[in-house]
Amino acid sequence: MDTRLARNKLTDLMAAFTGYVGKHLPTDVLDKLAELRAGETSPLAAAVYDSMFENLAAAARLDRPCCQDTGAIQFFVRAGARFPLLGDLAGILTDAVRRATIEAPLRHNAVETFVEKNTGDNTGSRAPWIEWEIAGSGDPGQDEAVIEVYMAGGGCSLPGQAKVLMPAAGYEGVAAFVFDVVASYGVNACPPLLVGVGVSTSVETAAMLSKRAILRPLGSRHPNPDAARMELLLENGLNRLGLGPQGITGNATVLGVHLESSARHPSTIGVGVSVGCWAHRRGTIRIGADLSHEVLSHKEASL
């Protein structure tokens, strides 16, 4: 395919997908919300869950975003070295955000720092934010890309924190930090929350791992059995806070807790917390070398 045509095709696709993600929640989040609704015993909390589903149905019917805050757009790209247009992908994703801002439409959420002016199209310096990963290590012929789109709303970004703990703080210190963050700020983030926890050496690595944790499919577990157990213990403990949907109290606080980790310096425990809200707008799309695509996050998605 001619390079210009290919560029236009991928821009069209990513603009459409970005807009779609703003209007439809991924299947795993919908399923979890339905499960929490079914298990809710407070009539008021049950009514709030019902209003969430009514809101989602109206967004789909009217073809509008399911929350007024369509967030700061972030992309997490995992691409093979031979993915066509790789060198142009940052520009393509930026153009896709400009297009989605008009066509979806998306709220204007990019204020240029130090200039203090809204750019009006959700782009700006390092906006959209793009994280890169090279896929298929050991396979230089890898030619597809998997792109996550995430809409980082203001309310759900607000609780995010990272800190380096003294080594003696141990995993108890990690748990205490997670509880402090969620108990202090979680109510601002439109519960039920998806809580991502990163454990690493320093603030930036722990923070990025905590963000990657909320991109994992709900219900997935850390491959280390002790870490997976900690995810479950944190989930159970945070649910006992009983924030309930939109923080009005109820049986649950979280959609889930996901933990990501790296090997770390023995003298530190870096811990990061990122939070997703009930309207967790995360979309995953796989794009082939011929620009065919498959939406992985949303069953029955049509672009």
Task: Compute the distance between CA of residue 71 and CA of residue 281 in angstroms, rounded to an integer.
Answer: 9
156 binds ligand SF4 (CB under 6 A): yes
Count of other CB atoms within 10 angstroms of residue 154: 12
Question: For ligand SF4, which is the closer residue by CB, 13 or 106?
Answer: 106
Considering CB under 6 A, how many residues would be counted as binding ligand SF4?
A: 12
Nearest approach, Cβ of residue 69 and ligand SF4 (Å): 4
Candidate segments 65-73, 137-145, 211-219, 232-240, binder of ligand SF4 by CB under 6 A: 65-73
Question: For ligand SF4, which is the closer residue by CB, 21 or 156?
Answer: 156
277 binds ligand SF4 (CB under 6 A): yes
Question: Site map for ligand SF4, 91-110, x if CB under 6 A?
Answer: --------------------
The residue at minimum Cβ distance from ligand SF4 is: 153
69 binds ligand SF4 (CB under 6 A): yes
Q: How many angstroms separate the Cα of 33 from the Cα of each of 26, 50, 113, 142, 280?
A: 11, 10, 36, 36, 11
* Amino acid at position 197, single letter: V
Task: Compute the distance between CA of residue 14 and CA of residue 172 in angstroms, rounded to an integer.
Answer: 42
Q: Do the Cβ atoms of 116 and 127 come closer than 8 Å?
A: no
Task: Compute the distance between CA of residue 278 and CA of residue 202 in angstroms, rounded to an integer.
Answer: 29
H, E, C per residue of 35-54: HHHHHCCCHHHHHHHHHHHH
Question: For ligand SF4, which is the closer residue by CB, 252 or 287?
Answer: 252
Question: For ligand SF4, which is the closer residue by CB, 193 or 285?
Answer: 193
Q: Do the Cβ atoms of 233 and 254 come closer than 8 Å?
A: no
Nearest approach, Cβ of residue 253 and ligand SF4 (Å): 14
Task: Compute the distance between CA of residue 98 and CA of residue 15 in angstroms, rounded to an integer.
Answer: 8
Nearest approach, Cβ of residue 193 and ligand SF4 (Å): 9
Question: Restricting to residues 209-268, which ones interact with ligand SF4 according to CB under 6 A?
Answer: none
153 binds ligand SF4 (CB under 6 A): yes
Nearest approach, Cβ of residue 220 and ligand SF4 (Å): 21
Task: Compute the distance between CA of residue 258 and CA of residue 234 in angstroms, rounded to an integer.
Answer: 9
Candidate segments 121-129, 154-162, 173-181, 252-260, binder of ligand SF4 by CB under 6 A: 154-162
Question: Restricting to residues 172-211, which ones interact with ligand SF4 according to CB under 6 A?
Answer: 189-190
Candidate segments 27-35, 107-115, 151-159, 176-184, binder of ligand SF4 by CB under 6 A: 151-159
Question: For ligand SF4, which is the closer residue by CB, 24 or 222?
Answer: 24
Token pair 């990061």 is found at: 272
Instruction: Produce one character per residue of 77-111: b if its CB has 16 or more CB atoms within 10 Å, e if not.
Output: bbbbeebbbbeebeebbbbbbbbbbeebebbebbe
For 227, residues 6+ apart whose C-beta sits below 8 A from its C-beta are 259, 261
Residue 52 CA, distance from chain mean position: 19
Question: For ligand SF4, which is the closer residue by CB, 67 or 209?
Answer: 67
Question: For ligand SF4, which is the closer residue by CB, 154 or 167?
Answer: 154
Contacts with ligand SF4 by CB under 6 A lie at 67, 69, 71, 153-156, 189-190, 277-279
